[in-house]
Amino acid sequence: MNGYLNESNFMMVEEGFTTRDLLESLLVEPGQAGAQQAFFVADLGDIVKKHLQFLKALPRLKPFFPVKCNSSEGVIRLLAELGTGFACTNKAEIARVQSIGVPPDKIFYSSPCKQVAHIKYAASHGVQLMAFDNEVELSKVARSHPRARMLLGIAADSSPSAHPSMAFGTALKSCRHLLEMAKEQAVEVVGISFHLGSHGLEPQAFAQAVAAAQLAFDMGTELGFQMHLLDIGGGFPGTEDTRARFKEMAAVINSALDSHFPDGRGVEIMARPGRFYVTSAFTLAATITAREEAPTEHPGSDGGWDGTTPPECPSPPEPSPCSSPEDPADGSSLVYQLSDGIYGAFSCLLFDSPCPTPQLPKENRPALPWEATTTRRRPREHLHPPVLRLGDGRVTLCHPGLRSSRDHLSPGSTGCILPAAGIAPRWGF
């Protein structure tokens, strides 16, 4: 043990006791039923399993966890105990990981666009490994951090990005020019970095990116740099219900590395798995604070849903077997207001568009209408999938999986449990 963890960072439970069991017990505690504050529960054991899975599937890679993905102290301490490094994007994140004792050589200042004050802070605190992808950044580092060890970021993704304004990395045709500038300014370049992102990433994209990285590596070597480090970024799925499976991705990466960066070449390989570590470990418990009926075409005043099922949401469920053909189809849906939103745990919806799966707590739940054995008519709420509106009112989620009637779901009821599949929580532990 390295001394990063202590008993205040986690709670031990009996074998077989699940996150769902813990949430159920918390939601029925006195005083909790009326609470409006959403909260996360994290399974640290799941993170340990993911770490071991990562090392087994990708034995040549050294993981550097991106702090921006989840900066919970328990997560940071656990990963530090497991020996991972940390990818930080600003001064605050560097200070956070160093505050628990992480050494500077375990920190990668991964942002390619940094403030001068933050570069100087990194220099004064011993953080040397950084990334750049343009002339301005190179000049800032040359002036403010002469001992920096730089990775040249390349744009290796050939597919169109879902958010072009957020894309980083220089084109291959510009690499030689930037490397020559680094040589002129006496900046030490030690390797190449790329990050493909997580927007429906295909495993073969890694093979193409590794091949492009080899070309950039060769340019640096020709110019006299001691190129010995490759960063392949992130993009590893956190759950297995995604199009790209982790095992398939790992097989493609291993094959590409063996072809372009074989063991004998002496190149260290690092990666930045973020959601891979934490997505399945975190579950959010939120309160349903309000409910209203709205036309299917416009479930909320924010216009977050146009009446069609979002691409990543499941298809609407089949009609209940206890339904009656006489039920009127009035074109309305239910909108549920949650106690959290895009300025909190759901900020990832702005960029990743996941579809969280809501579940109702089991405790004291009456029989659902479609579970009844009688031939009662189907409630009107079944005609159209209900909609979840986040607490700040900015985003609306259609999710047919949360069907309910007036009998068991009312304004102020507690416990819409959202497993974090597709969610990379930024905080909350």
Residue 136: predicted pLDDT: 95
DSSP 72-108: -HHHHHHHHHHT-EEEE-SHHHHHHHHTTT--GGGEE
pLDDT of 15 above 80 = no
pLDDT tens digit sequence for 399-414: 443 333 332 333 334 4
Q: What residue ranges define each of the domains in the chain, with the CATH number in brackets?
A: 16-43+281-429 (2.40.37), 44-278 (3.20.20.10)
Percent of the chain beyond pLDDT 70?
Answer: 63
In 275-316, beta strands by DSSP E = 282-286, 288-295
Which of 14-23, 199-208, 240-249, 321-330 has the highest average model confidence (pLDDT)? 199-208
The pLDDT value recorded for residue 317 is 42
359 Cβ contact list (under 8 Å, min separation 6): 416, 417, 418, 419
pLDDT of res. 398: 45
- Six token digits for residue 381: 């709420």
- For residue 206 the two structure tokens come to 């890694």
The answer to whether the Cα torsion of 405, 407, 412, 415 is positive or negative is negative
| H-run or E-run covering 55 | helix 44-57
The closest alpha carbon to 114, from 148, 165, 81, 64, belongs to 148
The string of pLDDT tens digits covering residues 53-86 is 999 999 999 999 999 999 999 899 999 999 999 9
The answer on pLDDT for 325 being more than 50 is no
| Residue from 165, 190, 168, 166 nearest 179 by CA | 190
Query: Which pLDDT belongs to residue 1?
Result: 59
Q: Whole-angstrom Cα distance, residue 244 to residue 404?
A: 32
383 vs 232, more confident: 232
> Model confidence at 346, in pLDDT bands (50, 70, 90)?
confident
- Specify whether the CB–CB gap between 120 and 97 falls below 8 A: no
Give the residue, 346 or 257, on which the prediction is more confident: 257
Quickly list H helices, 261-341: 275-278
Segment 298-321 mean pLDDT? 43
Residue 41: strand pairing partners? 283
* pLDDT single digits (tens) 373-383: 433 334 433 33
Q: Is the pLDDT of residue 397 over 90?
A: no
- Measure the CA–CA gap between 44 and 49, rounded to whole angstroms: 9
Label residue 147 by pLDDT band (50, 70, 90). Answer: very high
Reported as a single tens digit per residue, the pLDDT across 164-191 is 445 678 999 999 999 999 999 999 999 9
Higher per-residue pLDDT: 25 or 307: 25
